[in-house]
Amino acid sequence: MTPSNISETEMLVGNTLLSDNCSGCHMASDDGSFSRISHMRKTPEGWDMNIARMMIFHGLEIEPQDRRALVKFLSDTQGLAPAETAAHRDILERKHNTIEQDVDPDLAAMCARCHTYARVALQRRDKAEWQNLVHMHLGQWASIEYQMLSRERDWRADALGPVSEKLGQMYPLKTAVWADWQATEWKDMSGEWRIVGHYPGKGDMEGTMKVTSLGGDNYQTEFTLHFVGQTLVGKGKSIVHSGFEWRGTATFPDEKVRQIWAASTDGNSMTGSFFNKDHFEESMVITAWRKTSENGIMGIVPSAVKVGVETEVVISGVNLSGDVTIEGAKVTVTSATADRIVAQVKADGTTEGDVKLSVGKDVSIQTIYAQVDYLKVTPEYGISRVGGGGGPIPKVKAQFEAVGYSFGPDSVAGTDDDVRLGMLQVTWAVDNYSEASAEMQDAKYAGYITAQGTFIPEVAGPNPDRKYGTNNAGDLKVIATYTDGARILTAEAHLIATVQRWNNPPIM
Amino acid sequence: MKKIIILSMILWGVALSSLSAAKEYMIVGARPDKLFVIDIKARKVEKTFTIPDSTAPQNIVISPDGKIAYVITNHLRSIVGIDLTSGDVVFRADLDYKDDERTWNYGIDISSNGSELYSYDIPTKIHLDRYESLEPRLSVFKTDGGLEAAPVREFPMPRRIHMLMTAKSGALYAMGWDFYKVDVQTGDVQVAYPLRNWTQKNLSQPDALAFWPSWDNNGIFSTPIVYVRTDMAEDNMERFRTGLLSLDLDTEKFELTDFQSAPEILFSSVFHPDRKTAYAAYNTLIKIDLENPHTAKRIDLDHTYYQTDISADGKEVYVGGTACDVAIYSTKDLSRLGEVILPDCPDMGATVIRMIQK
């Protein structure tokens, strides 16, 4: 059956590419299938890594444009449905400091030691093909059965037996969601989009994106993004795989960025990460809404206002119109378009906590607080990596952000009624995490933290000044200090400043 | 037990004194293709050989007459015999001799008469569009097999073996999940000392991954091994234990000597020829009192070292592997006695140290 979203011509071209490039090793059958290849489904990144392995391990020679075309064809015909990627998008979107969720503990012990669990859970195939993949692992890495966390078990027997069985049940080739998604009409993404996002430690962004079709699910993009104090204009190209996997690159005056987003099934919104091409840790999570006849509020900046302090609040959205009101606050609108309303807001203290903000008939939440009661640093546990120093691998920075909270009605910290007040301006410092790190003077050697909470690690390689001539790794605490008049609040996070990763595959 | 230990000491004492006229050499390899013969007491590299078609030398086995070194290289895929006088290649077995197979060596030793090599092989069949991991096997080669040696016998073996060693009697031992005794004629495999399902009271399954042959000057295989005391309270850090597991290659007796909790990683160990002390290393070098088992001394090393070895006279302990230096310490007090830096500082990686007399 030809999926309705892919034309006869596209099918023919794709199959010809497989035949030309792959059939020397992967037998073509009369039914049009190719051995191995036709029996699994992967994300675009999964297919691309697969073809890279064919090149590196098996000597496949393929033109770059054919490789891209095959990734597109295979993702469209043998991809994952939106619901099948939902649980593991953080890894797919290269979000830094991700602690994986939705992990089967048995499988994780066997399969999430060298790479993420997502790499496994973002593939679909039946038991026999999971077994083939296990054989590839056993034949490729001599030490796989000998490494710690393998060697106490019969790794091979477990992997070929119960693990392949379970994988085939949890992540099978044929699923109803994929069949349904193939039968759903995949939407054209061209049009005007409204976009909001947040850069941890740096602040909020709101802007617009204009998308023009170039044909074949390829698009041209134009961005106008407003950050606090500056507006950036950029241009780029994007492609949509599997009907919803938006992948883009764009060039801004000072940097090149990439986008890995997922479109909603109705094609009217997208979410995902927007990150520096060379530093995926410099990333913001965005939401984009198509400017349709629908309307709504996408973001309010700042999300919290302090009682008695007149604050400029920016409300971003689509097709906004009508009166702006906030419970318990005086609102003076200073400018208003359908996309963006700027208002001076002063809370009178009659209410605190999350209150109703409305623009005409659209409602959202504004937070009102009397004082910041405590702060938290996110992530609680961060990772940076040494790099640079003439070596091939750039440093991986770690970005921290301080978030304020009020105790809420019960006046107790850490309870359900605590109110999140958003990012705070704080001062940053690092210190040794433990006695052992103090003895090694990690805080002195591992790097420094900027005023915006970015930890910049030191260069890679051994450091002759250090004990044992060790490298510039370290175990640190990151300390945020918030000053509110005479009150001083602090919070800490844990930072592992560690060594490089030698390869940074698309799916870690 | 005590009697056997004393007996074996006497035997080795005899062996050592008969050798004392000979000069002692250390043999080590380095990436990508070097084999060094070191006059260790002179702290001097005496010979440097180049192994043809080699990438990463690891395990080394010396013929009983001390004349030939059989080196595992090419990422565990070739056995190359080098004449230690001339540097000539006198033996070569590329383990991928079978069509469509990729085979790794995970253990090698030589028969006590020097006529046969035992290779523990892990093969994978490479089909056109898939791999097929096969069962491991013991391949027996004749040492006079020439430059395209093929095995004369093959036997299926348990998985996950990482070390082979031949006892004086000619019996082959293999360390893996358990310690096995292998009949090299019939392929019969018996558990000689259980590890995975060991019968030690109140001790968890142990963890030991040994690659280091340190028996040349003492006749005893030993390795650090870690396990947990299941009868001690969960919050008691003393429950994490380190012992030395040893196999006397003369008497074929196993022994487990529990000597400390688990304050450090130890990769390898070596017994003193008098069997009263042992030494173990990784980031630290420790001296272990075997008579009254405890760590008698500990020093920090300047970098990580994988293998520990010892001089025939028991005066010097050597640490090597990982970089391009062999560091030399006094067995008495672990004071630094010197070092040998390999010419052009090649990476020793996971190469082993062997000690020979000639």
Q: How far is A138 from chain B (nearest CA, A)?
A: 6
Q: Which of B106, B124, B129 sits opposite A36 (nearest CB)?
A: B129
pLDDT at A51: 98
Determine which of B59, B131, B197, B203 to mutate to test the interface with A (most A C-beta atoms within 10 Å). B131
Cβ contact, residue pair B133, A156, below 8 Å: yes
Cα gap A162→A233, rounded to integer Å = 53
β-strand partners of A508 = none
Q: In A, which residues are within 8 Å of B104 by CB distance?
A: 142
Strands A304-306, A362-369: pairing is: parallel
Tens digit of each residue's pLDDT (9 = 90 or more) over B103-142: 999 999 999 999 999 999 999 999 999 999 999 999 999 9
Residue A117: its H or E element:
helix A117-121
| pLDDT, average across residues B243-259 | 97
Is B104 touching A (CB cutoff 8 A)?
yes
pLDDT at B13: 40
Tens digit of each residue's pLDDT (9 = 90 or more) over A5-60: 999 999 999 999 999 999 999 999 999 999 999 999 999 999 999 999 999 999 99
Q: How far is A439 from chain B (nearest CA, A)?
A: 14
Determine which of A146, A154, A463, A466 to mutate to test the interface with B (most B C-beta atoms within 10 Å). A146
- Give strand ranges (E) for A184-328: 191-199, 203-215, 218-227, 230-241, 245-251, 256-263, 269-276, 283-290, 296-301, 304-306, 311-318, 324-326
Residues A156, A138 contacting (CB under 8 angstroms): yes
Does the pLDDT of residue A102 top 90, yes or no? no
Nearest CA in chain A to B178: A152
Closest C-alpha among A117, A321, A288 to residue A209: A288
| pLDDT, average across residues B327-354 | 96
Q: How far is A1 from chain B (nearest CA, A)?
A: 25
Cα gap A127→A159, rounded to integer Å = 11
Cβ contact, residue pair A151, B300, below 8 Å: no
Tens digit of each residue's pLDDT (9 = 90 or more) over A290-328: 998 788 999 999 999 999 999 999 999 999 999 999 999
- SS3 labels along A439-497: HCCHHHHCEEECCCCEEEECECCECCCCHHHCECCEEEEEEEEEEECCEEEEEEEEEEE
Nearest CA in chain B to A462: B303
Is B98 touching A (CB cutoff 8 A)?
no
Q: What percent of chain A has pLDDT over 90?
A: 87
A213 alpha carbon, distance to own chain's centre: 25
Tens digit of each residue's pLDDT (9 = 90 or more) over B18-63: 445 679 999 999 999 999 999 999 999 999 999 999 999 999 999 9
Is B300 touching A (CB cutoff 8 A)?
yes
Tens digit of each residue's pLDDT (9 = 90 or more) over A395-438: 999 999 999 999 999 999 999 999 999 999 999 999 999 999 99
CB pairs under 8 A between A and B: 59
Tens digit of each residue's pLDDT (9 = 90 or more) over B2-13: 344 444 444 444
The CATH homologous superfamily of the domain defined by B32-170: YVTN repeat-like/Quinoprotein amine dehydrogenase (2.130.10.10)
pTM confidence score: 0.91
Tens digit of each residue's pLDDT (9 = 90 or more) over B186-219: 999 999 999 988 888 899 999 988 999 999 999 9
Q: What are phi and psi of A443, to 5 degrees?
A: -60, -30
Does the pLDDT of residue B14 top 50, yes or no? no
Cα gap A247→A232, rounded to integer Å = 20
pLDDT band at A467 (very low <50, low <70, confident <90, very high): confident
Closest C-alpha among B215, B220, B116 to residue B170: B116
Cβ contact, residue pair B207, A148, below 8 Å: yes
Closest C-alpha among A490, A464, A489 to residue A477: A490
Is B75 touching A (CB cutoff 8 A)?
yes
Tens digit of each residue's pLDDT (9 = 90 or more) over A48-95: 999 999 999 999 999 999 999 999 999 999 999 999 999 999 999 998
Cα gap B282→B343, rounded to integer Å = 23
| pLDDT, average across residues A257-284 | 95
Does the pLDDT of residue B96 top 60, yes or no? yes
Q: How open is the CA angle A272-A313-A329, to the nearest 5 degrees?
A: 130
pLDDT at B11: 42
Domains of chain A: 8-181 (no CATH), 191-290 (2.40.128.120), 296-369 (2.60.40.10), 374-498 (2.60.40.10)
Q: In A, which residues are within 8 Å of B134 by CB distance?
A: none
Q: How far is A141 from chain B (nearest CA, A)?
A: 10
Instruction: Give residue limits of the domains in chain B.
Output: 32-170, 199-358
Tens digit of each residue's pLDDT (9 = 90 or more) over B80-94: 999 999 999 999 999
pLDDT band at A2 (very low <50, low <70, confident <90, very high): low
Q: In B, which residues are within 8 Å of A36 by CB distance?
A: 129-130
Tens digit of each residue's pLDDT (9 = 90 or more) over A391-403: 888 899 999 999 9
β-strand partners of A19 = none
Closest C-alpha among A217, A221, A222, A279 to residue A243: A217
Cα gap A238→A247, rounded to integer Å = 5
Sheet containing A381-385: give its strands across. Answer: A381-385, A487-498, A474-484, A427-432
How far apart, in Å, are the Cα atoms of A145 and each of A104, A151, A376, B106? 21, 6, 42, 11
Is B263 touching A (CB cutoff 8 A)?
no
Most confident stretch, A36-45, A104-113, A462-471: A36-45
Q: In A, which residues are within 8 Å of B208 by CB distance?
A: none
DSSP annotation string for A216-247? TTEEEEEEEEEETTEEEEEEEEEEEETTTEEE
| pLDDT, average across residues A349-362 | 95
Residues A165, A134 contacting (CB under 8 angstroms): no
Does the pLDDT of residue B16 top 80, yes or no? no
Does the pLDDT of residue A215 top 50, yes or no? yes
Residues A404, A305 contacting (CB under 8 angstroms): no
pLDDT band at B15 (very low <50, low <70, confident <90, very high): very low
Cα gap B107→A490, rounded to integer Å = 56
Q: Which of A139, A146, A469 sits opposite B162 (nearest CB)?
A: A146
β-strand partners of B156 = B137
Is B325 touching A (CB cutoff 8 A)?
no
Which tokens go with B59? 């395990």
CB atoms within 10 A of CB B52: 11
Is B228 touching A (CB cutoff 8 A)?
no
Q: How open is the CA angle B18-B24-B30, to the nearest 5 degrees?
A: 145
Q: Which of B76, B302, B303 sits opposite A142 (nearest CB)?
A: B76
Cβ contact, residue pair A151, B159, below 8 Å: no
Q: How far is B162 from chain A (nearest CA, A)?
A: 8
Q: In A, which residues are within 8 Å of B95 by CB distance?
A: none
Residue type, A492: E
Q: How far is A135 from chain B (nearest CA, A)?
A: 5
Cβ contact, residue pair B303, A140, below 8 Å: no
Q: How far is B292 from chain A (nearest CA, A)?
A: 30
| pLDDT, average across residues B273-294 | 97
Does the pLDDT of residue A201 top 90, yes or no? no
Interface of A with B (CB under 8 A): 25-27, 35-36, 132, 134-136, 138-140, 142, 145-146, 148, 151-152, 154, 156, 468-469
Average pLDDT, chain A: 94
> Given this chain, do its domains B32-170 and B199-358 carry the same CATH topology?
yes
Determine which of B74, B120, B129, B177 to mutate to test the interface with A (most A C-beta atoms within 10 Å). B129
| pLDDT, average across residues B153-181 | 97
Q: Which of A35, A139, A146 sits opposite B209 (nearest CB)?
A: A146
Look at the block and give the residue holding tokens 């770059």: A64
Q: Which of A145, A146, A468 sits opposite B303 (nearest CB)?
A: A468
Nearest CA in chain A to B135: A156
Does the pLDDT of residue A442 top 80, yes or no? yes
Nearest CA in chain B to A23: B129
Q: Which of B104, B129, B302 sits opposite A26 (nearest CB)?
A: B129
Cβ contact, residue pair B159, A145, below 8 Å: yes
Q: Which of B129, B132, B302 sits opposite A469 (nearest CB)?
A: B302
Q: What percent of chain A has pLDDT over 70?
A: 99
pLDDT at B18: 47
How far apart, in Å, are the Cα atoms of B247 and each of A52, B27, B162? 47, 23, 15
pLDDT at A3: 62
Cβ contact, residue pair A136, B159, below 8 Å: no
DSSP annotation string for A67-85? HHHHHHHHHHHS---HHHH
Q: How far is A242 from chain B (nearest CA, A)?
A: 26
The CATH homologous superfamily of the domain defined by B199-358: YVTN repeat-like/Quinoprotein amine dehydrogenase (2.130.10.10)
Q: Which of B128, B162, B207 sits opposite A25 (nearest CB)?
A: B128
Cα gap B73→B59, rounded to integer Å = 8
